[in-house]
Structure 1
Amino acid sequence: MNPAVNPDVNPATYPTLPANASFVTRVRLAVRALNVLKDDPANAYYGPLVNACMDSETYTKLARTWRESPEGRRLLDERPTLQGCDLDLDALARLPEGTLGHEFMRYFRDNGIAPFATTFPVETDVDYLSKRYRETHDLFHVLTGYGTDEAGEMELQAFVLGNLGVRQAALILAFSLPRRLQQKGFKGLGAYLGRLRAAYRRGRRSRELLSVSYEKLWAQPVSEISALLCAP
């Protein structure tokens, strides 16, 4: 499950995940990737590399669970996509204010970013779940209400750790703590950790968000979807 390599860049410059890599090697490579992603969060190589290093087993178990339900099997067989190139962005933006599609487009406009895109090849259920996890990240911000500032991003990581059990979220949270201490010291640390703990517990109490067919819900109010899926 190594990421696809950009043909315009010398592949020798990219780190790759060795077959049967130890956990220590996986963490070391993931941390190296995170050092790139903190300044280039949309990087098409290092994002999938973190997935490959930390959560291949997580996605394998999740795929088995999905295969046990009709809706899960449908998603894995049809592999719907939320990539920007596969969405009618103008049509979503024209939906009534407050609907999922409209607010999804507002989120991108307000934050000055574009929908997720990747060249990572999807050949297996695990590949698809890895891609689905990354492309739903921005949608999870809209549904949970967590902000896009650093604290909000970490709250969302804590939420998905509780909701999906993805190990990369735990690594990102651990990776961010020394940076926060460097910037702010111990001031407000207790309150910050309390917010993360609350987000984690909220994720545990919420419906598993990855397997929702959001492609069918664009015209539904965000408030109703959030109330149905996310714990208070």
Structure 2
Amino acid sequence: MKDIIISYREEHSFRERALLWLLDNVVTVHAMVYRRRPVWGLLREDMLRYPTGTLGHELGRFLTQESLQPVDRIERHDAFHILLDFSTSLDDEAAMQFFLVANGKISPFTLATAAFTMLVMPDKWGLFIQAFRRGRRARSIANWDFLSLLDEPFADVKAAIFQQPVSNERLLSKIRPHAKDRALPVQL
């Protein structure tokens, strides 16, 4: 497994440094628990070779901008950031967990992270509620195969998530099998 690099800058508060330390350790445990999940086997440089405007290329740009490499078995987490409009700030990382829980990604790690950050970041509850509501309104992405979507237009994938019209039949055929993931109305 590739090393995870989390910067513990001094300008972070004690609470932020503690959460970053916890995140660093949880990511390692998460990768071990999901060791049977397929590894994408791609570096950010590989993703940048996807055509401009595709999810793969945008993901490569994001990883380059953040000076990150994909972490084995957790690669789709980075796709969540760019598709759902969450930065890598601690507040956004926490808010993204609330989006994902509301969106149907019910895993021990997502639930635990949401619960823990709710307890230690009560000043961010408004942000968390807003993210939760956005997650409820979006199409469930909990079981999407993001590796198969790397060659799809980024704008189309994002539009599909947020229930906007998409005429890309190839993309729609990739996400249709997951349309029944949640009881919310799904319009393809």
TM class by smaller structure: 0.5 to 0.7
Alignment partner, residue 95 of structure 1: 50
CA contact (8 A) 2:46 2:60 kept: no
Task: State the superposition RMSD in angstroms.
Answer: 3.0
Q: 1:205, CA displacement in angstroms?
A: 2.5
The yes-or-no answer on 1:148 pairing with 2:103 is no
Alignment partners' CA distance in 2, 1:151 and 1:104: 21
Answer 1 or 2: which has greater helix percent: 1
Cα distance 1:216–1:112, how it changes in 2: closer, same or farther (>3 A)?
A: same
Alignment partner, residue 161 of structure 1: 101
Aligned residues: 144
Cα distance 1:178–1:202, how it changes in 2: closer, same or farther (>3 A)?
A: closer
Alignment partners' CA distance in 2, 1:161 and 1:219: 27
SS at structure 1 position matched to 2:151: coil
CA contact (8 A) 1:92 1:102 kept: yes
Q: 1:109, CA displacement in angstroms?
A: 1.2
The yes-or-no answer on 1:205 pairing with 2:160 is no
Deviation string, structure 1 residues 174-227 (Cα, Å, up to 9, x no partner): 32245446xxxxxxx2xx322211211222232221322323322322122111
Alignment partner, residue 70 of structure 2: 115
Q: 1:87, CA displacement in angstroms?
A: 2.7
CA contact (8 A) 1:37 1:47 kept: no
The yes-or-no answer on 1:227 pairing with 2:159 is yes
* Residue of 23, 34, 38 corresponding to 2:23: 38
Instruction: Give me the TM-score of the superposition, normalised by structure 1.
Output: 0.52
Alignment partners' CA distance in 2, 1:149 and 1:100: 21
Structure 1 or 2, whichever has the larger Rg, is 1
In the alignment, structure 1 segments of 5+ residues that lack a partner are 1-33, 53-78, 118-130, 182-188
Alignment partner, residue 176 of structure 1: 117
Cα distance 1:202–1:151, how it changes in 2: closer, same or farther (>3 A)?
A: same
CA contact (8 A) 1:203 1:231 kept: no
The yes-or-no answer on 1:135 pairing with 2:75 is yes
